[in-house]
A = this chain, B = another copy of it.
Amino acid sequence: MTGIVRHNGHFEWDGVHRLAYKEEGTHFKQVTRQVLSKAFPGLFAELRYFEVAPGGHSTLERHEHAHLVLIGRGGGHCLVGGEVSAVTPLDAVIIPPQTWHQFRATGTEPLGFFCVVARERDRPQLPSSEDLEALSADPAIKDFIRV
């Protein structure tokens, strides 16, 4: 047991498969998921790497569990709560409980990011039409979100 999950270049790791972002749904576009900690299922948390292809986006969602995110490659924008921000490598993004969030690869590069979550966590909630209306009260958010 070395504990090492070896990066083998191009944001891939030995023994880690590139998976679909989620098993089902149409609320996201061109996102892959790799679970770097998958050989250690009993830990308090999971370390994942997500990559959004140019033009793609993660799901607009919120949930009780928090995310600790570290941008790994490329760039793009994210919504966290009431703000849309540009992100570049080594920026950290903290997503507190019950905070609407979405990542988009808005440029010509992919947006790759590491994301730690608690192993035991609630299911994400999608926005209702009322939620979308409230979010869209801010023109910058209205313009940004993809559902």
Q: Could you tell me which A residues sit within 8 Å of B by CB distance? A: 1-7, 11, 13, 36-37, 39-40, 42-45, 47, 65-66, 68, 70, 72, 78, 80-83, 85, 87-96, 99, 101, 114, 116, 118
Please, which residues of chain B bring their CB within 8 A of the CB of A101?
3
Min distance, Cβ A23 to any Cβ of chain B, angstroms: 23
Min distance, Cβ A34 to any Cβ of chain B, angstroms: 10
Closest to A82 in B: B1
Known: A45-B45, A68-B116. A40 touches B96 (CB 8 A): yes
A4 near B85: Cβ-Cβ < 8 Å: yes
Q: Which 3 A-B pairs have the closest CB atoms?
A: A3-B80, A7-B90, A5-B92
B4 near A39: Cβ-Cβ < 8 Å: no
Which of B39, B88, B95 makes the CB contact (< 8 A) with A94? B39
